[in-house]
Structures are given as structure tokens and as C-alpha cells.
């Protein structure tokens, strides 16, 4: 692989093309257009979908799962919900296949003729216990669903799980045509998962993620003359990994390939940007990165020397003037946000959240002080910091596992108050400090600064990153006049 050189270059090796909590990327191309989806876990609407013309600059079209008939409310815990979708296109139809782990790891398929939606209700394939499904079509037009199997019935003689399994399906009738079979046990690293199949020339290539989605994460590949194997491993496996290096992007894996119109190939993959003292803390989740693919002796070779355009504009100001929310807004408890009256947002007890996109940032919520309201930086329900406003009382609170505490309180003045949180440089050994304050009739002032490491995946576990959520504290709806997010500095 080729490494970047030169100060100030915005290179794909260290800069995500889709920053923030957008993991497990899958991509397809239709003509000159590329479409990409990500895992969404407990957040609803589910499965963000993006569009690009160059693989480097992406615009969110919307979300795939926008109705309760597609994604029933009631996710049981953080880092559950919707896992690792794959997007494919065939004969004018887009297909997204994914896993709902709330339903025993069921594999489902939704379809659309327009990637912006609406998407169909799911076709559910029961009895395929596992995650990370992929769709591919054999030369005879038959469809195969390949996935990371966790079903005891498919456990090999050596006792290893997971394995990569495959089953032929009829998408028109929504049925399996056979019992699933094991096609690959991995190259020898832990946790073979995230399979994707591609036809190139006379070969079928099977791309997998191995090593676990932490620091040992890697991309591996095998190939076969037939879609169902037998597969032979690439001699250079893993073909891509940052494990055991000091590179600023780690946990690289769970990749997908796409062929460009000119016949060249590219790869999207996930990575994290850990910071702070050992073990390093990543806080915005697993992000989407880009690489180019060369081919040598019939095998893909990964290069990370792409030069990127100016940083994505992650800033936004939302005055909630329309009745429909921008697709960036999600619910943190699996409850689909509904329409609202124009001119301000009425909050209930369900969290309304937006993903953090940058390493340094500022978020402001301009709120009506007549009803109790909270602004929270959330990793999960057991790891969060927040600032609340209840009448004229502002308070900063924290929860880290079973420990909860009030950090500081202050008096607020005025009918409308701006609650503020910033991620700034760390004063200890963590990735950052999160400082909370407010702007009221008396001006701007800071109440508390808290160590950001406790809102990291390395502390809390799981598969997600930080979101910024707003909610009413009581039965009375709270009104948010506007919200603003700004990155701080260039990354």
C-alpha cells in the first residue's frame, strides 16, 4: 500500500470521506452515480443512504428504513438494531439487504426504484441466524445471499464460529430455495464476517472482514471459479490492515469494492481515529474511508494515496421551519421521529439526536426556557454528559456506567436560553474535553469541562459513537427554536 506524504495534504489514508458515526460502508454504482449505505444500529430512521459522483464527496439522500413496518420501534439496547447493510442494483431496482438483530438476527431485503425512496417493506428470510448479509446474482440469474453465520447448526467440526455461509433465495417470492451451507471459514484470523461477492473476469472474489472490528481489524480476500466455491485465499492476506502500527487511523476493515466507469476499482472501508494516551480513544464512531484498488496477478491490491477535495461541510443550522426533519436527525431509542409544526421543534421524552461529525466541534441549542429540556452528549444510555435547563436552573450532569453525578449548576436568565457544548483539546490524557455552558440575558459562560475518554468506545464498548441529543425532561413538551453545529478547526 502507498502511504501519504507531505504536510497539509487532505489524503484518503487519514481523512474520512464520510466522517462521523457511519460504519460498515457498502457501495454500488449505476452509470456515473454511486450510492452508499451504512449501519445504523439502534438509531431510527435506519440505514443512511448517500450519493456521490466521484466517491470523494457524498450527500445524504435520506434513510432507507423510515416506517415502523420496516423497523419496528423498541430497540432493546445500544449497539443493537440494524447491522451492516449491503446495497446492490440490478435491472432498474435497488436492493438493500441487512440484519435486524432485534429479531434473532433475521436477514431482510428492501427494494426501491429510486434510492432516495420510498423503500419497500422488508422481505424477511427467517432461520438464517447471523449478520452482515450480501446479495449477488450468478451467471444464470439466480440470487445468492451470503452472510456471516452464527447458527450452531452450521458450526464446523473444529467448533469455530462465525463462518461465511450462503443460500440461494427467490426475491420475488421471498423464500429460501435451499438450506444454507458453509462456503468459507476465513483466512485464519478471528471473526470472519462482512462478506461481499464480485464477478471479475472468470473469477468470483469473496471479500471479508477478519480480526474483529477493534485494532486487529483487516480486509481479506479469496476467489473461486464458481459463486459457491471452493475458494482459495489470496497469498498476501490480509490485503489491508493497520494493526500493530502507529498510523493515526486504526480498526480498518469491513470493506466493499466498486468498479468505476473507466474499469478501475475502488474500495470503501471503515476506520477510527483514536486519540489520547494508551489505549487511544475513538469517540465519533467508525467512519467511512476510501482507497483505490490495483490488480496484480489476479488479486486486489489496496492503495490509500487518493487526494481528497476540501473537507466535507459538516456544519449546519436548523431552524425547523419545515414540518419534516432533515435526514440527519434520528431518534436515539429506535422511535421514529414524526412531523412537527413549522417554526420551532416540540420535543417529547424521546431523544432526538444528530451524529457528531468532527473531532473538535461546537453545538448550540436555542431553547424556550418555559419547559424543562436537556442537551446530551450520548454514547449510550450508561455513558453520557448533559446540560439541563429547568426554569431558571441550569445544571451539568454526568453518567459513567453505574455512577451518576451533578457536576455544577448555575442560574439562567431570560425567556430563551442557548445551551452550548464544545469538544476542545484535552487537558488530561483523553481524546478531548467536553465543556458545557449557556448563553442567556447575562451573556455566555461555561459551567463545567469533563474528560472525553469516558464517552469513548474503548470505555463503554459497543459499535457506535457520540450523538448530540435533545429531549424534554418532563411531561410538558419542550420547544427548540433552532440548533447549530460547527466544526472547530481543520482536521
Whole-Å CA distances, 240 to 149, 243, 250, 288? 23, 9, 11, 15
Neighbouring residues of 338: CB distance < 8 A, sequence distance ≥ 6: none
CB atoms within 10 A of CB 204: 21
Q: Which of 154, 157, 156 is nearest to 167 (CA)?
A: 154
Q: Which of 60, 74, 87 is nearest to 258 (CA)?
A: 87
Strand partners, 347: 478
Separation of alpha carbons 375 and 392, rounded Å: 16
| Helices vs. strands in the chain: H and E counts, helices first | 1, 36
All 3 cell numbers of residue 383?
A: 455513558
Q: Which of 230, 220, 225 is nearest to 193 (CA)?
A: 220
> Which residue do the cell numbers 474520512 mark?
16
Active-site annotation, residues? 24, 193
Separation of alpha carbons 334 and 277, rounded Å: 34
Is 143 in contact with 135 (CB distance < 8 Å)?
yes
Whole-Å CA distances, 166 to 84, 154, 178, 231, 368? 16, 11, 10, 13, 54
Whole-Å CA distances, 163 to 66, 182, 184, 269? 31, 7, 6, 21
Is 62 in contact with 70 (CB distance < 8 Å)?
no
**Dihedral over Cα of 150, 152, 154, 158: its sign:** positive
**Dihedral over Cα of 461, 462, 467, 469: its sign:** negative
All 3 cell numbers of residue 467?
A: 450523538
| SS3 assignment, position 369 | coil
Separation of alpha carbons 282 and 471, rounded Å: 25
Amino acid at each position: 500500500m502507498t502511504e501519504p506524504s507531505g504536510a497539509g495534504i487532505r489524503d484518503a489514508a487519514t481523512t474520512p470521506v464520510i466522517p462521523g458515526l457511519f460504519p460498515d460502508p457498502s457501495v454500488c454504482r449505476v452509470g456515473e452515480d454511486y450510492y452508499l449505505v451504512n449501519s445504523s444500529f439502534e438509531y431510527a430512521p435506519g440505514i443512511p443512504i448517500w450519493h456521490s459522483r466521484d466517491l470523494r464527496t457524498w450527500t445524504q439522500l435520506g434513510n432507507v428504513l423510515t416506517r415502523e413496518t420496516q423497523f419496528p420501534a423498541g430497540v432493546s439496547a445500544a449497539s443493537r438494531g440494524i447491522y451492516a447493510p449491503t446495497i446492490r442494483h440490478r435491472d432498474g431496482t435497488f436492493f438493500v439487504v441487512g440484519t435486524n438483530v432485534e429479531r434473532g438476527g433475521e436477514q431482510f431485503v428492501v427494494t426501491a426504484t429510486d434510492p432516495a425512496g420510498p423503500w419497500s417493506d422488508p422481505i424477511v428470510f427467517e432461520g438464517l441466524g447471523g449478520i452482515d448479509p450480501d446479495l449477488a446474482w450468478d451467471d444464470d440469474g439466480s440470487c445468492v445471499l451470503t452472510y456471516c453465520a452464527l447458527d450452531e447448526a452450521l458450526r464446523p467440526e473444529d467448533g469455530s464460529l462465525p463462518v461465511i455461509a450462503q443460500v440461494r433465495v427467490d426475491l420475488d417470492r421471498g423464500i429460501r430455495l435451499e438450506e444454507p451451507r458453509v462456503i468459507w471459514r476465513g483466512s485464519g484470523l478471528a471473526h470472519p464476517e462482512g462478506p461481499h461477492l464480485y464477478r471479475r473476469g472468470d473469477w468470483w472474489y469473496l471479500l471479508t472482514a477478519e480480526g474483529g472490528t477493534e485494532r486487529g481489524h483487516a480486509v481479506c480476500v479469496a476467489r473461486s471459479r464458481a459463486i459457491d466455491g471452493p475458494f482459495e485465499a489470496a497469498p498476501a492476506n490480509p490485503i489491508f490492515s493497520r494493526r500493530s502500527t502507529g498510523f493515526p487511523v486504526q480498526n480498518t476493515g469491513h470493506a466493499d469494492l466498486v468498479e468505476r466507469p473507466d474499469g478501475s476499482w475502488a474500495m470503501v472501508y471503515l476506520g477510527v481515529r483514536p486519540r489520547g494516551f494508551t489505549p487511544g480513544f475513538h469517540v465519533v464512531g467508525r467512519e467511512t474511508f476510501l482507497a483505490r484498488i490495483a490488480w496484480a496477478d489476479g488479486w486486489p491490491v489496496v492503495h490509500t494515496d487518493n487526494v481528497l477535495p476540501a473537507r466535507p461541510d459538516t456544519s449546519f443550522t436548523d431552524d425547523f421551519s419545515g414540518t419534516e426533519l432533515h435526514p440527519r436527525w434520528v431518534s436515539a431509542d429506535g422511535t421514529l421521529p414524526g412531523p412537527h409544526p413549522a417554526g420551532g421543534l416540540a420535543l417529547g421524552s424521546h431523544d432526538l439526536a444528530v451524529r457528531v461529525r468532527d473531532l473538535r466541534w461546537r453545538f448550540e441549542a436555542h431553547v424556550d426556557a418555559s419547559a424543562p429540556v436537556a442537551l446530551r452528549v450520548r454514547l449510550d444510555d450508561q455513558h453520557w454528559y448533559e446540560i439541563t435547563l429547568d426554569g431558571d436552573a441550569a445544571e451539568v450532569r454526568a453518567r459513567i456506567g453505574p455512577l451518576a453525578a451533578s457536576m455544577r449548576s448555575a442560574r439562567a436568565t431570560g425567556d430563551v436560553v442557548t445551551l452550548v457544548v464544545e469538544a476542545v483539546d484535552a487537558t488530561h490524557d483523553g481524546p478531548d474535553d467536553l465543556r458545557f455552558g449557556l448563553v442567556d440575558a447575562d451573556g455566555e459562560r461555561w459551567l463545567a469541562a469533563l474528560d472525553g475518554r469516558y464517552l469513548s468506545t474503548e470505555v463503554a464498548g459497543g459499535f457506535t459513537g457520540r450523538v448530540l441529543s435533545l429531549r424534554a425532561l418532563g411531561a410538558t413538551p419542550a420547544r427548540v427554536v433552532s440548533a447549530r453545529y460547527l466544526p472547530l478547526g481543520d482536521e
